[in-house]
Amino acid sequence: MKGFNVKHYAAALARIGREQGIFDELMSDAQHVAEKIDENLDFKKYLVDPHVSLGNKKKALQMVFQDFVSERTINFILLLIKSKHLGYLDQIIKTAKDSFLTDDQVSEVIVESVVPLTVTQTKQLASLVAEKLGIKVLLRNLINEKILGGLRISIGDTVIDSSIAGKLQRLQTTINTLG
């Protein structure tokens, strides 16, 4: 892998996302593709097989992901396949996220909910957190059915747990200390 550097690909990905205002979409698409490729080893073998033409690999990617990811993401994956660096996709995504957050002094906020937040809810919550804490925010919504309802918000090491499961756990702890 002479001359290969994860940071170069990650920086390019972050720069494109930042310049075009599509960083979240780009990261989400790339993460989705990475997860699906990792889940299906036969598909991954097909994508890295040197005997399969790049055109056929592109058709396969489009067939699998056309309804879920942008053409830009498919082209980025093809670039990694062509340069024989597909195995570094997870590292590239992580490095791009870290680079974006560091460069823009943005704090990642993880919001766990039972159902996906709507676009409006996401924007309102991100705005509220940014205003209250005086920071730039990149909000990620994770689905966690174990919380039963409400939200669990993580900002770095700080967790704000207003979930039903969290409230039940605190109630149980209180009852146990009284008894």
- In order of their start, the domains of the chain are 6-100 (1.10.520.20), 105-178 (no CATH)
Q: pLDDT (tens digit, 9 = 90+) per residue, 70-98?
A: 888 888 899 899 988 888 899 998 888 87
Residue type, 160: I
The span from the CA of 30 to the CA of 34, in Å, is 6
According to the model, what pLDDT value does residue 16 have? 84
Both structure tokens of 83: 């340069």
Length of the chain: 179
Of 10-14, 47-51, 103-107, 114-118, least confident by mean pLDDT is 103-107
pTM: 0.56
- Mean pLDDT, residues 114-127: 89
Q: pLDDT (tens digit, 9 = 90+) per residue, 7-33?
A: 888 888 888 887 888 888 888 888 889
Residue 101 near residue 132, CB atoms below 8 Å: no
Compute, in degrees rounded to 10, the torsion defined by CA atoms 70, 75, 76, 82.
150
Using a 10 angstrom Cβ sphere, with 0-12 exposed, 13-18 middle and 19 or more buried, the burial of residue 109 is buried
* Residue 101's pLDDT band (cuts 50, 70, 90): low
